[in-house]
Amino acid sequence: MSSSSKTPLALYIHWPFCRAKCPYCDFNSHVAQDIDHARFAAAYHREMAHMAAHYGAGRKLVSIFFGGGTPSLMPPSLVAGIVAEAERLFGLSDDVEITAEANPTSSEAAMFEGFHAAGVNRISLGVQSLRDEGLAFLGREHSADEARNAISAARQHFARVSIDLIYAQRGQTAAGWVNELREALDLGLTHMSLYQLTIEQGTVFHTRTRRGETLIPPDDQAAEMYEMTNDVMTDAGLPAYEISNHAAAGEACRHNLVYWRAQDWLGVGPGAHGRLTLPDGRLGLATRRSPAAWLEAVGESGHAIDIITEDGRADSVAEWLMMGLRLAEGVSMPAMEARFGSRASWLDETALNRLVESGMLENSDGQLRATPAGRLLLDGILADLMPA
Ligand SMILES: C[S@@+](CC[C@H](N)C(=O)[O-])C[C@H]1O[C@@H](n2cnc3c(N)ncnc32)[C@H](O)[C@@H]1O
Ligand code: SF4
């Protein structure tokens, strides 16, 4: 399979297990008692080898991201084996970013030490809240003190530590959230992912909502909290570089930038996704979601790729705009024209001018950007921008 070798290539590794299932979470995560780590290790290596041979085209990796699920439950030797095999199969760029997601309930110093020795150089810690009542509401199994301890343990081993927090929870006031955020900022971190709580299909929160409970504030209150979040974070020197992601200069997550810049990545593990640039569009890959089915398919065929899609030009334009407009940097019009031809053929200029006038978009220095207000209305903006 030929794919463009001009853009960076990243690798996503999905670890599908957690100690408990959180009531708000619809990620592909499962609670299992007996996990055959040796069998998983062999399967990750085989599927990586398949991806490298068929889709890697001799490209070095700029990033590896262990996501989940709860990757901090992986034995460090499993992580070390995957990193070493990725290096052998693809090669790693000199400044490769290797991130692992970690949960405070599995964040012992020995784990961080092992992950560091395995080559991980960035930790993304699922703190979710610095308030015990917020953690209880979210059904988390750790306390705020345990979360703080996990942050300090992570920082002893890693220069780059990010935390996730979830706001816009039932009963949370804007003032209470801002205080919590300021406490998080006092910890001196250089990256934070700040998510508004969303109610996802198939979760316990979804069932409770259907039964009549209200678990999130009204839209206008959530929007006010979003604006306050942006103001507090900007003042603190960690502006939003993406809708929910805030970082000090140079500290953005390079792996996630690959997604939002519509560059190329491969996904290995149960339910992992990949996307690659083709001469006339994009190739999408998705593996089997169920861990058991994934293991079986990899055992039989060397990979568990379940769905392969080929997107044409219009879908690729939509992906560039949709992903790029999430970013503060926006999308580069010259880069898009180099890829898709004159913009008259893929952009509705009248709609563009209207959206600029109404304060949803900015178009300067060749970059098209969504304003903070526009970033909340991207679906509608995209539908307007692309000629029917
Ligand atoms: C794969 S999970 C994280 C890692 C780890 N398993 C943990 O929970 O600590 C990625 C992040 O998505 C966020 N998230 C998941 N479901 C969400 C929801 N319904 N609303 C808002 N954020 C959510 C959480 O902040 C979570 O840390
Ligand atoms: S939020 Fe994290 S720990 Fe909780 S179920 Fe989802 S992936 Fe697992």
Do residues 243 and 337 share a domain?
A: no
Ligand 2 atom showing the smallest separation from residue 25 Cα: 6
The average confidence (pLDDT) of the chain is 95
| Site residues for ligand 1, CB cut-off 6 Å | 18, 24-25, 27, 67-68, 70, 101, 103, 126, 128, 164, 166, 195, 197-198, 200
- Do 51 and 151 share a domain, yes or no? yes
Q: What integer pLDDT is reported at residue 108 of this predicted model?
A: 85
Tell whether 287 is covered by a domain: no
Q: Is residue 32 part of a domain?
A: yes
Low-confidence ranges of the chain (pLDDT < 70): 1-6
Q: Angle at which helices 144-157 and 109-118 pack, to 10 degrees?
A: 30
Same domain, 154 and 240: yes
For the CA of 126, the closest atom of ligand 2 is: 2
82 within domain boundaries: yes
The verdict on 66 and 142 lying in the same domain is yes
Let me know if residue 337 belongs to a domain: yes
User: Are 80 and 178 members of one domain?
Assistant: yes
Could you tell me if residue 267 is inside a domain? no
Domain that holds residue 352: 314-388
**Cβ atoms of residues 240 and 329 within 8 Å:** no
Among protein residues, the one with the nearest Cα to ligand 2's atom 6 is: 25
**117 and 38 belong to one structural domain:** yes
Cα 373 off chain centre by? 22
Residue nearest to atom 26 of ligand 1 (CA): 126
pLDDT at 106: 83
The residue from 258, 286, 303 where one domain ends is 258
222 & 346 share domain: no
Amino acid at the residue 352: L
Q: Give the pLDDT of residue 324.
A: 96
199 Rama sector, left if φ>0, alpha if ψ -120 to 50, beta otherwise: beta
Please tell me whether residues 226 and 154 are part of one structural domain. Answer: yes
Q: What is the pLDDT of residues 32-81, one digit of tens each?
A: 989 999 999 999 999 999 999 999 988 999 999 999 999 999 999 999 99
Residue 252 lies in a domain: yes
Give the distance (Å) from ligand 1 centre to CA of residue 387. Answer: 35
- Residues 333 and 249 occupy one common structural domain: no
Interval between CA 105 and ligand 1 midpoint (Å): 14
Q: Verify that 115 and 189 share a domain, yes or no.
A: yes
| Tokens of residue 308, six digits | 């392969």
Same domain, 173 and 240: yes
Of all protein residues, the one whose alpha carbon is nearest to atom 3 of ligand 1 is 126
Count CB atoms within 10 A of the CB of residue 9: 26
Task: Convert the pLDDT of each residue in 101-119 to its tens digit.
Answer: 999 998 888 899 999 999 9
Structure tokens given for 336? 């898009």
What pLDDT is recorded for position 6?
62
Preceding omega of 69 cis (within 30 degrees of 0):
yes
Q: Are 138 and 169 in contact (CB under 8 A)?
A: yes
Query: How many whole angstroms from 196 Cα to the centroid of ligand 2?
Result: 16
For the domain that residue 363 is a member of, what is the CATH number?
1.10.10.920
State in Å: Cα 25 to ligand 1 middle. 6
pLDDT value, residue 3: 47
- CATH number, domain of 98, equals 3.20.20.70
E strands, the chain, are 9-15, 61-68, 92-102, 122-128, 160-167, 191-196, 240-242, 245-247, 264-268, 273-278, 281-287, 305-311, 331-332, 361-364, 367-370
Q: Is residue 271 part of a domain?
A: no
Q: How many independent structural domains does the chain possess? A: 2
Domain membership flag for residue 297: no
pLDDT single digits (tens) 231-262: 999 999 999 999 999 999 999 999 999 999 99
pTM: 0.96
> Residue 97 forms beta bridges with which residues?
63
Q: Please tell me the number of the ligand nearest to residue 12's CA.
A: 1
Ligand 1 atom nearest to 24, measured from its CA: 19
Which one of 235, 258, 281 terminates a domain? 258
Q: Is 107 found in the same domain as 186? A: yes
Tell which of 212, 243, 258 closes a domain: 258
Q: What is the pLDDT of residue 50?
A: 98
